[in-house]
Amino acid sequence: MPSDPAALAGLAALVLAAAVLYSSVGHAGASAYLAAMALFGVSPEASKPAALVMNVAVATVGTLRFASAGLVPWRRLAPLVLGSVPAAFVGGVMALPTSVHRLVLGVLLAVASLRLLWAGPREIARRALPAVAAARGLGALIGLFAGLTGVGGGIFLSPLLLLTGWEETRRTAGASVTFILANSVSGLLGH
């Protein structure tokens, strides 16, 4: 952590801004927290659990808000979470060397960002999720990457749900923040 008060204040300001912005779209902000902490020289050993703790706080509030509005698609989300939670725990147990952690996180974030920039059709017809086993497998893959990198997985789940037509925008936000909460707790327990 930065020891200089000005640097610490700068990091805190970035984290607060990320929490506010990410929570407005059904995310919790771990990718931004990790990026900010990396800019300030915080090691992955310290930044990963710190990002997950912040994720749990922000995602708990988000899950309660989206659930009370009826915007969490529990039945669609269940097989994804059942696959992701154990995998996020395993990913949380694994410790990547700093250079590998930053490379993996950077590549995964870049791929997720580029995929969202792809100009697909404005409205995608809503489709059914794949078979339960396939949904669990997708959840497990996302959960493993989430646990390895110290994020909740929403940055991977949201594009998947939207671009495949498995869910509409507002319910994707509700699914994402709930998914993030489950994986953040699991990844933190594994850490």
List, for residues 65-88, the tens digit of each pLDDT value: 999 999 999 999 999 999 999 999
State pLDDT tens for residues 42-58.
988 899 999 999 999 99
As a whole number, the mean pLDDT across the chain is 89
At residue 146, the pLDDT reads: 92
44 close to 94: Cβ distance less than 8 angstroms = no
> Is residue 120 predicted with pLDDT exceeding 60?
no
Q: At what angle do helices 44-68 and 30-39 cross, to 10 degrees?
A: 150
Q: Distance (Å, rounded) from C-alpha 158 to C-alpha 26?
A: 9
State pLDDT tens for residues 135-185.
999 999 999 999 988 899 998 999 899 888 999 999 999 999 999 999 999
Rg of the chain taking only CA atoms, in angstroms: 16
> Is residue 121 predicted with pLDDT exceeding 70?
no
Q: Is the dihedral of CA 77, 191, 6, 60 positive or negative?
A: positive
At residue 110, the pLDDT reads: 80
> Is residue 128 predicted with pLDDT exceeding 90?
no
* 1 C-beta neighbours (distance < 10 Å), count: 13
Q: State how far the alpha carbon of 19 is from the alpha carbons of 22, 33, 119, in Å.
A: 5, 8, 27
pTM of the shown model: 0.89
